[in-house]
Structure 1
Amino acid sequence: MKTRAITGIFFCVVMLASMLLTQEIFAAFFTLLSIWCTYEFYGIIRNEQQRPDTFLGLTVAAVIMTTSSFYLLGYIPGKYMLLSIPLVLAIYLKALFDKRSLPFNDIAITFLGILYVILPFLSFLGLGFIQGRFQAEIPVGFMLLLWTSDTGAYLAGRSLGKHKLFERISPKKTWEGFAGGIVLALVVGYFLAQNYPILPLELWLSMAVLIACFGTLGDLVESMLKRSLNVKDSGTILPGHGGLLDRFDGLLVAAPLVYILLKFMEL
């Protein structure tokens, strides 16, 4: 428990520092983070029936995240993001030379890693630049809402939880915990609106509900993935916590939806 607590505090400090320092550190940190999470995904999903092309998948992920980061930072024009297309085609081409009985399983799993991990991290990266220039308040607010909704769900579930949410997938999650996560996220959303007026109150509260609901869905989806593969953790890089993918499962579903919300509100 002590190791888990120390790792958790260190992890939160590093995360906040990466968002609050400079736009270059923010972009570089989450680019590297997304690539590592993709690597963990490929690692846990690989078996005899499905073998993702880890090298090409990670290369595509790196090119997408790097060119998108440079574009958002204003270093290159947007056309350079098209560089990932030849690499995407290379995944199909390589499958032609691999002597595998079910090549499309491998192709599908390779692309799934990009869609499941890279698209959400790209959305989160975009939150920092959604108003045309780097502003750390929105990604910081996103992470605070995600962490507090998890905390609220844990506390409410432990003290009040009686009705299981999806016992087959995650035996400890309850409807009471789910409600507690939403309530605490709304409270934090209110305080974010007072301290970060970059967004109006109604948007912070909308973000709170989205993150609490779909962050939980992301957690359940990753739990379903690991149960189907008989895997406990996605990795071992974080002592007491498992892998990085385990720590960002909520972001994988919530980030694209929050990005769409803010885009539709024409920020």
Structure 2
Amino acid sequence: MKTFFTRTASALVFVAVMLGGILWADYTFFLLFFLIGCFALQEYFKLLREIDVDYAGVSPWHKWGATIAGAAILLTFTGDSFSIGGIPTGFIGWWIAVLFLLVMPLGEVLMSKDFSLKNIGYSAIGLLYVTVPFGLLIHIRMNAINIHYTHENVGTAPGWLIPLLLIIFIWINDTMAYIVGSLIGRTPFAPAISPKKTIEGTVGGMILAVATAGVYGHFWGYQYLALQHWIALALIAAVFGTIGDLIESKLKRMAGVKDSGKIMPGHGGFLDRFDSLLLAAPFAWIYVQTFMIA
């Protein structure tokens, strides 16, 4: 019972912080995903240290260089939305990111006892796997004015809509997959990675997520997004969100841990909460750029 109340309380706090950050303003949206991105990257590095002991021996320069590069990459995606001393934060972030991405390998050569290109590769993959997806969400939010929302291209949907929909569709897919799997699930989907997932539950979750998006988009959401966009975003969230969840589960299994972190009592770490979003966000960004940009 105590565990139930702990999980419920932390979930309510999580939802309140997420909604406040996403809905309040541009800068709160950026700060929210900036912090999530930085902490999730640290959890990724922690998993790597458990997976490969060689990575545990990287120099402090490498550790901090990769962290600062990740933060700078996130800043880059703000573009001209904010400025410091009249200089766009996107420009500042771009130069910091380039500087540290160029200098970090040099520092690794000079300061590490055992130089390894493999360790640099691990960090680079982390920036692509963890940092860039959150940056793409920020980019969608900051460039919403260029997005065509309806058939007539006159929609007035706020910039936070698409990122929020991705999160909601992922949650619907996960919840429905669990319910359907519990009721009729018989065939293991990926037993070596996630033994509890079933094909019936996975497919059922995807179908119900897309169906929910289609029904809501047809009857109520048409004023914000054309129906095909509701369905496409739900499909992206369901399919690639599921794959993203499996990727993080594989990393945890390789590391021999249950959770990536302990930031949320009863719910694990940042990677545990946003693993599905890490893969869904890039494909949603590609969809927006291809089919919804003016």
TM-score (norm 2): 0.85
Q: Tell which deviates more after alignment, 188-197 or 89-98.
A: 188-197
Give yes or no for the alignment of 1:221 onto 2:230. Answer: no
User: Are 2:181 and 1:157 equivalent residues in the alignment?
Assistant: yes
Give the counterpart letter for 1:64 in structure 2.
I
Shift of 1:202: 0.5
Instruction: Show the 5 A alignment for 1:53-132.
Output: 53-69=62-78, 71=79, 73-75=81-83, 76=88, 78-83=90-95, 84-101=97-114, 103-132=116-145
In structure 1, the residue matched to 2:55 is: 50
**Pair 1:8-2:20 in alignment:** no
Structure 1 stretches lacking a partner, 5+ long: none
Which amino acid letter does the alignment assign opposite residue 255 of structure 1?
Answer: A
Letter aligned with residue 230 of structure 1: G
Q: Is it true that 1:197 corresponds to 2:202 in the alignment?
A: no
On the 8 A contact 2:166/2:280 being kept in 1, the answer is: no
* Whole-angstrom distance in 2 between the partners of 1:202 and 1:228: 39
Letter in 1 for 2:186: K
Distance 2:106 2:92 in 1: 22
8 A Cα contact 1:123 1:259, kept in partner: yes
Q: Percent identity?
A: 32
1:188 corresponds to which residue? 212
TM-score normalised to structure 1 length: 0.93
- Would you say the 8 A contact 2:75–2:90 is kept in 1? no
Deviation at 1:233, TM superposition (A): 0.8
Query: In 2, Cα distance between the equivalents of 1:132 and 1:80?
Result: 23
Determine the C-alpha separation between the residues in 2 that align with 1:13 and 1:77.
Answer: 27
Report SS of the residue matched to 2:54: coil
Residue 170 of structure 1: which of 181, 186, 194 is its match? 194
Pairwise CA distance, 1:74: 4.5
Alpha-carbon separation, structure 1, partners of 2:80 and 2:18: 20
Judged with a 3 Å threshold, the aligned counterparts in structure 2 of structure 1 residues 122 and 263 are, in CA distance, closer, same or farther, namely same
- The 1-side partners of 2:112 and 2:9 are apart by 47
Name the aligned partner's letter for residue 9 of structure 1. L
- Please give the per-residue CA displacement for 1:13-35, whole angstroms capped at 9, x wherever unaligned: 21112111111101111111100
C-alpha contact (below 8 Å) 1:152/1:183 kept by paired residues: no
| AA aligned opposite 2:94 | L
SS at match of 1:15: helix
The answer on whether the counterparts of 2:243 and 2:276 sit within 8 Å (CA) in structure 1 is yes
Instruction: Provide the C-alpha distance between the structure 2 equivalents of 1:66 and 1:126, rounded to a whole number of angstroms.
Output: 10
Pick aligned residue for 1:138 from 126, 146, 162: 162
Considering only aligned residues, what root-mean-square deviation do their CA atoms show, in Å?
1.8
